[in-house]
Structure 1
Amino acid sequence: MELLGTSAQPPEPHTFNPSYALRRSIGPLEPFSRYVGPVSAASRPLNKLFWELESVRGAFIVATTTPNCRTSCQAICPLGHRHETTPLTLANAARSSTFGCPVCAGTVVVPWFNSLAVLRPDLAAHLHPTRNSPQTAETIYGATQTPFLFVCRECQRSFQAAPRRLKEPRCDRCRHPRTPLPRWLVLEIDRQFEPHTTARTLEENLFTVHQWRCRNDTRHRWTASTKSRLASKSCPICAGRIVLVGVNDLAARFPEAAAHWDYEANFPLLPKDFTGREGRTVFWTCAGGHSYRSPINIRRNGPSCSFCRGLAVLDGFNSLATVRPEIAQELHPYLNAKTARQISWGSGLHAFWNCPKGHIYMLEVFRRSVDRRGCTVCKPIQRRLAS
């Protein structure tokens, strides 16, 4: 049988050209016998579906035993790679640039076609000679996303990268050189513990922890990585982020506030465990003997007892029933959610009250107890009578 559409013979598999596409035909497969050997008499001609796949995809089915979409068959892609597939796989890969070929997709590595030595000879020359064993430049796919070890062409250090993402055989340090470290960072190294640390030592690994010393106060010593020191340039002890007992703790900096520390309610916490800049809420004692809660950075500025200021209710001290018992009797017995012992006498809570004339009205507690305002129903009536 003669190929339709051309009189030339197909070239070798590795130089196969898509221009030798077949047209619709129902003839036997003798033209492809050079690829698969002699065709037996039992082989059947390809049906219409197979030839349409050849026309659309440009992937040429070589041999098959039965005209079924799920039957395994031999195929040759437009680049001449012979592989085993099914017509259904070719149809599903209609929009793929690899034609369903495992060699074109990189699943199968052919040393002379898609290996790293052929596709990326610049990277293959700098592939680590021993640490990638048993993989070599001839067995690695040239566009793989699997990382391998390479040798930098500038600093000769080994680094790990995927050939697909690597444009040149250079490590991250050479491709993105860091700016020199500031001079103040080297000066704050504690020479008592690290006498031989230099700027080059700090640049080699930014995540290594070093010993540091404050330039303003030599008593301030702490450990931190170079990365964190570049992010936060100030001394953590001066800034109040680290507690140094006897230097910046609450008892040393604010002794008046530490004297009102509630040791029983805060056990096992002590004033020396905190600095004056922390916002943690703890218990304090006031001159009246009340135990209240307040943040450390607010209490250090002066007393702020919530009971003495009327912000919290303490029955027997600042409740409405204790300070204004005559007004507490006018509180409605069941329309309010709280009783007179649960409400502060200066609270801004809206409450229901009983008027001596039988009216029920709503008014804030502090307006009734402090401002001495009366019934809101009787006052408009008195105004109308007066007019």
Structure 2
Amino acid sequence: MPGVNDLATSRPDVAKLWHPSANSSAPEGVTAGSSKVAWWVCPKDARHRWQRPITSQVQSGAYCPVCEGRIAIAGVNDLATARPDLAAQWDPSNALAPEEVTTVTSKIVGWVCPAHTEHRWRARVGDRAKGYGCPICSGRRAFAGFNDLASRNPGLAAEWDPANPIRADQVTFSSARKVNWICPNDARHKWLASVNSRNSGGGRGCPFCAGKRIHVGSMDLATTHPDVAAAWDRERNTRTPQQVTAGSGYRAHWVCVVDPEHRWQTSVSNRALGGNECPECSRRVASRIERVLFEALADHLDAPAHGRKVPVPWGPQTAAELDISGSYRGAPVAIEYDGLAWHENRADVDIAKTTAILEAGYFVVRIRQGELPHLELEHPRLLQLDYRYRSGTDDRLALFLQPTVATILKWLEAQTTRSPEPSPTGDVASPADLPPMGEA
């Protein structure tokens, strides 16, 4: 009824969009709830025309769908008119034409890259209008033979784990996707890493071979040195033998496998590479080695002694106890056996004692066990030797020590046939001339 429930009366804002000539009736002749399809026109731009049911337009409000990009009008707001550059990339196989869509539509269509026509993809028109270009050229999508890992870095692709859900030619060489890799040197080494982390810069290799990770079963201490791992203190250590390598600097706690009362702490590398013995047990063995060594040298020395104290002050000490001493061709000789357990991290002490003995006129031999480095000390009357730890009966120890004994005697023979070097106090004194400690 005009003036009561007609469109012009109930929704005058919508009635302003009524096309004055394309409709067969006026706004006063229809209701706001009518399903009749009518023509509408934008009050701002007469080129914007559209058809819509009256009730739908009323529900949407007094807006122009052309202005908002919901309806395309060729030559006004269509893609071909607004963005001819994008329209040129329109895939001709699309069901729609560029003149039938606006720049803000969410319709997904096909596109062809202007730089590489073989690059084809599907994307929303609105996203392309916002600046999204070819995903293949930008590296966001892989294209076999162009930017995929297999093509760009075949050497790295050879390390691709075939168990991955995708192939090396299905990811870009700069992809951030994490996949599994297999070490070319050891197929047991497998790890997870992104493609770009392995492909960028110098490239990251196998973390196991680089020592950054531990492969249980080939690299861990329990596998490579089970005898060392057997002494692992599982109560005090925060790691397990499977979590460290033989070269680790981790200072671990150990329990003697012979006597559980013997406990000590040292780095894994010292135990695995330096010496596998209990320090307490080692001291006892060292005493045996010194005794066997003394017996082997006694026949070649004058006035041989084992454990003799001589009046040579050093540091806070007023005398020096020598493992083995005597004289050779009248020259005083001091031989020290440096066991790993007792002399580890004591280089300064050993240097001080050695210096004092040298200054007293002795020829000095220091036998350094295992991985103990030579003392940073050089002197014409100083000989430093390496000795790898061996255990066994006295006869076996004597056999092991034969090369060491031969080297010492050869060196003493060469040194003492030269002109004798005077001591700081004048003549070189023989140990036999030195009174035992406690005697005047």
TM-score, normalising length from structure 2? 0.44
Instruction: Report which of the two has the higher share of strand.
Output: 2
TM-score, normalising length from structure 1? 0.49
Query: Which fold has the larger relative contact order, with Cα–Cα distance below 8 Å and residues 6 or more apart in sequence?
Result: 2
